[in-house]
Amino acid sequence: MNISIYDTTLRDGNQARGINLSLNDKIRIAHLLDEFGVDYIEGGWPNRSNPTDEEFFKVIRKEKITGAKIAAFGSTGRPKTAPENDSLLQDLVKSEAEVKTIFGKSWDIHVTDVIHTDLEENLEMISSSVAFLKKYSAQVIYDAEHFFDGYKANPNYALKTIKAAEVGGADCIVLCDTNGGTLFYEIAEIVSEIAKNKNIAIGIHCHNDTGLAVAGSIAAVNAGASHIQGVINGYGERCGNANLITIAADLLLKTNRKNPNNAYQLKCAANMQRLRYFSLAIDEIANMQSDVRAPFVGETAFAHKGGAHIDGVLKISHSFEHIAPEQVGNFREFVTSDQAGGALIFEKLSKIVPVEIFNKLDKKSPVVKELLECVKVKENQGFAFDTAEGSFEMLALRRLGLYTDKFQTLGYRVIEDMGEDGAHISEASVKLKIGDEIIHEVSEGDGPVNALDSALRKALAKNFPSVASVRLDDYKVRVLGSKVGTDASVRVWITFGDSKKCWHTAGVSTNIIEASWLALLDGIHYEISR
């Protein structure tokens, strides 16, 4: 069974709080969607009050969109207005989009109390609008807005509305759970009833207000729908729309595995090993922080922290993983924490220590047990090695005698001052011992940590020139424990990077400057150790 994917990231996704896509953003995302393999790309609502979407349809015609059809979105015509005189429909025609998608009212209270017309007039608006657009379109898709609420309130009238769209010549009728409140088994029952009595394609459009948009979409497909509308990464108004990333993976990797003789065919199937890439790339363009816990593609989707889980995965990966992470372009990660066991520490050491030393170890070796106990003690103090692998590596190398600090801290000082003009000045001095040499450097910065970082690099520049190429990419502070005042312990987390890789370190103290200094030191020692 062929399933068509209709993406509405550029319209429904753009309605999410915190997202405001520019024209360039929309064009870039459209290319990614086409590359991913969606069947339809809904570009937006082209009308005179929405100049970005109007311009999108002018520009996209000149772009090389090779696989997907471009759809323009709008509504049925207005009450008591002939379609050829209705500006809403005329704007859709002017978009020159290959596909036109319009929504109409399925719920009787929307007809009478929202758009203030009578039930028969609404049916005429639906059929005449679809018929008018058919003259100018390769396909017309009708979105039955609020269909499930309307069906539950007045099933006879809801069915009349989609019959009107069918009479008008719609190529696909999409049943919309616009409020997102219909449970998946209700969707399955209703779609099953509709699909068995219709000769045209039935689609599904779910919102996520009950957290069941993906489940509702898949239930609809199992009940006979052959067209799915949704948004990459589940963006959208309120709680968002059905997440097409999750839906594609569920249909191709889960549902098809259960029913290999009746498999669903999706055009994006060939690109599933790049699923994580498409998810992250569109997050980046939309300027949205990626969901680390997103199914299939999240950073922690295949991260294992518990010792028993890690031990099981190392023996038989599918004992704790429902699919192989490579199937969706993700990766397996073993998280170093106080819940980890000797198997994880041993596995981590395989990537850190020289082969000739590692071959002499096993997960029951004294040094492995000692390192595990040290991790547990430090995490009890507030360290978090699951997000500070650089600090774990330095801890392991020091414990194994494979790294000795190449410089010694004799002291550091930070001075914060405010000038007469009100500007704040941060100055740091650092005193180090390298061999027999005492080095003392002073530097200013855009804050105490930046000043410390600058002074430390200056002090190390002559003896360790590679330190100059290290970037400080991110800096975060988290208050630990139940104390929330100025005497609380804090954990500082720093991301370092250079031209080849990035690494994370952590420092913990009741003094934020000391915690920052500890994290800075680990980051620099990590670079020197390489």
SS3 sequence of 13-77: HHHCCCCCCCHHHHHHHHHHHHHHCCCEEEEECCCCCCHHHHHHHHHHCCCCCCCCEEEEEEECC
The Cα 28–Cα 267 span in angstroms is 20
The Cα 496–Cα 493 span in angstroms is 10
Whole-number pLDDT of residue 423: 82
SS3 sequence of 327-382: HHCCCCEECCCCCCCHHHHHHHHCCCCCHHHHCCCCCCCHHHHHHHHHHHHHHHHC
Which residue do the tokens 């028969």 mark?
Answer: 120
pLDDT bucket at 219, cuts 50 / 70 / 90: very high
Average pLDDT over residues 212-227: 97
pTM of the model: 0.71
Domain pair 4-286 / 407-463, same fold: no
Whole-number pLDDT of residue 381: 83
* pLDDT, tens only, 433-442: 999 999 999 9
Thinking of the domain 407-463, which architecture would CATH place it in? 2-Layer Sandwich (3.30)
The Cα 249–Cα 301 span in angstroms is 13
Local structure of residue 318 (DSSP, 8 states): G
* pLDDT, tens only, 230-262: 999 999 999 999 999 999 999 999 987 666 666
Question: How many Å is the maximal CA-CA distance in the chain?
Answer: 94
The Cα 133–Cα 71 span in angstroms is 12
- Whether the predicted pLDDT of 156 surpasses 90: yes
* pLDDT, tens only, 443-480: 999 899 999 999 999 999 999 999 999 998 888 888 88
Q: CA torsion 285→288→292→295, rounded to 10°?
A: -70
pLDDT bucket at 106, cuts 50 / 70 / 90: very high
Residues in CB range of 526: below 8 A, 6 or more apart: 390, 393, 394, 496, 503, 505
What is the topology classification, in CATH, of domain 4-286? TIM Barrel (3.20.20)
Lowest mean pLDDT among 86-95, 436-445, 478-487, 498-507: 478-487
Q: Where are the domains of the chain?
A: 4-286, 303-377, 407-463
Lowest mean pLDDT among 114-128, 306-320, 413-427, 490-504: 306-320
Average pLDDT over residues 187-206: 94
Phi and psi torsions of 21, nearest 5°: -75, 130
The Cα 178–Cα 241 span in angstroms is 9
